[in-house]
Chain A
Amino acid sequence: MLTSTLGMALREIRRNVLRSVLTTLGIVIGVAAVIMLVTLGQGATDKVTGDIAKMGVNMLTVVPGAERRGGASVGAAPLTLDDARAIRQEIPSVATVAPSAGRGLLVVSANQNWSTTVTGCTNDYLSVRDLRLAVGRSFNEAEAQGGSPACVLGPTVRSKLFGQGDPLDASIRVGKVACRVIGVTEAKGQNTFGMDQDDFVLMPLTTFQRRILGSRDVGAISMSASTETAIPKVKTQLAALMRARRKLPEGAPDDFSVRDMKEISETLSSVTGALTALLGAVAAVSLVVGGIGIMNIMLVSVTERTREIGIRLAIGARAYEVLLQFLVEAVMLSLFGGVLGMMLGLVGSYAAGRALSFPFRVLPEVVVIAFAFSFLVGVGFGFFPARRAARMNPIDALRHE
């Protein structure tokens, strides 16, 4: 009985190729779309979070001037190297402190020039910013003390000035200062906002202050907290310290601001999280649309199926025998479509993720939900019209129009 039912269902599927293909297609598209959209959304979220981690999640930066809408503030006293020293001494949860100052300048090699950001900094800046050297070395003691000018290039600057050539020990001009190239950092690529993270020149802070800035000002002090959980504490201690050092009276607003990568990272994560939710909603809609497609195909064929059921009943089939056949047919089609859609969705999102360089992370619950929903729709709409027909008098099923 079971084998003949299976055979009959298979024959029915082959006999109604178009109907079978359309039903299957509806399920395939529904499942594949959901899996792809959600997996890609998840990949985007992972990528953003990863990018931020690369920028250094534990990093805090203090800059002069109150945080104000509409950009930089004017008139606030600059930071100094003494501020950096005080932070290092008085805030225990701070691991590394890196004062820096920057300016946009033209850098010139033997036959190329390039406009970039030049940052005066210490070697600690490299570790706070998570910069690693690809070739060469960082500043030695003599250079850090303001000896002969040396510089480390970002990969972008290196290729702009030297192309494929060897930059080490070459002499370049940074603004008006002749400078020896001692190292090149590893490439970081673009950040989440599309900014080139490799377009910079680093030189020792003292050299930068003396030869370029002409003052002892510090533009920013970056620091890394010893742990991620210490960040809030560091933040409050830092604010108190800065207020004291800058002699701000009680009640006066801060004339400096502290930026916290973790905050930015959390904001961004919530944005991409919302994006994933949106994609999920789009996916859900596509699932419903796919479901309606399946439903339509099934309902269109109800008349024909009802008559077929009438014939089978008239010939002596019992209702459950007919139903079993239709159920098996619907289950086989839905299962086939679901598995196909799952494979297509996974392969598709893997390929798209590769193209967009998103990490590939599958959410199993989404796969299960997409599959289960399409499966139920397919089986439901294949089965329930059949059940109605199978409960009729055969003559009514035969007369159905």
Chain B
Amino acid sequence: MTDTAAPLIALRDVFKIYGSGESEVRALDGVDLDIRTGEFVAVMGPSGSGKSTCMNVLGCLDRPTRGRYLFRGVDLAGASLDQLALVRRHYLGFVFQGFNLLARTTALENVELPLVYRGVPTVERRRLAAKALADVGLGGRELHTPAELSGGQQQRVAIARAMVSEPSLLLADEPTGNLDTARKHEIMRLLRALNDERKITIVVVTHESDVADFASRTILFRDGRIERDERRGAPS
């Protein structure tokens, strides 16, 4: 690799420690990680190994206890909550492990939400949200609320919401956990396409190797550390 460009994101000796003393948990225990623009990374590892914690730090939803987080070369350690919010708004899309959709709110309105905060005009917003829903196979379900959708459908709404604003970096925490194999592969092909065509950098947490196979790079977490980091093929 002779890539001279600065990485999109860089973690330097990042710790996330919960509790203290006896009950101290090192969810992240000195993580160093570079991810370049255009990469498609799969994060794997046993339950409790720190995958979600790492994703939250990458997604600017949580701050590391210690260590540096560089986003496009800028250290976010001293950033205010509002500055982090703006990073999320303009560069990030996040699919949560637990979906986190707004209750009693239609799928369309849920997907529209990131665009609302980006100041996209209503009509354009509707159009983009409807298109994103169609892309995840939920055309015709625009007006259903989360309670009226199956787990897999909610997950796809969450994916549509994360990608509707075409973020630079899309972070997905087990986005296919509740889907059957066919749906799962469909979603992964969709992510693959976003990565290929729009150069969206993608990080996906998964337990399944067939999902990880869609990625160009696999990172394995164990006990809060990166145990293995493999690149496959030569996508660039």
Contacts and interface: CB of A to CB of B under 8 A. Distances in A.
A316 B114 contact: yes
Contacts of B116: 4, 8
A316 B89 contact: yes
Contact of B90 (A4, A316, A391): A316
Nearest to B91: A316
Contacts of A319: 81-82, 85
Interface stretch (B96-104, B130-138, B180-188, B200-208): B96-104
B117 A321 contact: yes
Contacts of A314: 59, 61, 88, 94, 96, 100
B113 A312 contact: yes
A11 B112 CA distance: 14
Given A393-B63, A395-B56, A398-B100, A316 B85 contact: yes
Given A308-B102, A312-B113, A398-B100, A317 B61 contact: no
A396 B62 CA distance: 8
A300 interface: no
B90 to A, nearest CB: 7
B47 interface: no
B117 A398 contact: no
B104 A315 contact: no
User: Which of under 10, 10 to 19, 20 to 34, or 35 or more describes the interface residues of B?
Assistant: 20 to 34
Contact of A1 (B62, B94, B103, B119): B119
A35 interface: no
Contact of A394 (B61, B86, B101, B114): B61
Contact of A395 (B61, B90, B103, B114): B61
Contacts of A393: 61-63, 81
A314 B118 CA distance: 13
B161 interface: yes
Given A316-B118, A317-B85, A311 B104 contact: no
A393 to B, nearest CB: 6
Nearest to B113: A315
Nearest to A394: B61
Contacts of B109: 11
A315 B103 contact: no
Contacts of B118: 316
Contacts of B63: 393
A318 interface: yes
B209 interface: no
A141 to B, nearest CB: 90
A11 B119 CA distance: 18
Contacts of A318: 82, 85-86
B105 interface: yes
Interface string A300-335: 000010011011111111111100000000000000
A15 interface: yes
A11 B122 CA distance: 14
A253 B95 CA distance: 98
Among A304, A312, A316, A398, residue most surrounded by chain B Cβ atoms (within 10 Å): A316
A215 interface: no
Contacts of B96: 314, 398
A254 B63 CA distance: 92
B83 to A, nearest CB: 9
B104 A316 contact: no
A395 B58 CA distance: 12
Interface string B144-163: 00000000000000000100
A16 interface: yes
| For the complex of A and B, 7 pairs with smallest distance between CB atoms | A316-B89, A395-B61, A395-B62, A316-B88, A394-B61, A318-B85, A15-B104
6 contacts: A11-B109, A311-B101, A314-B88, A314-B96, A317-B85, A391-B81
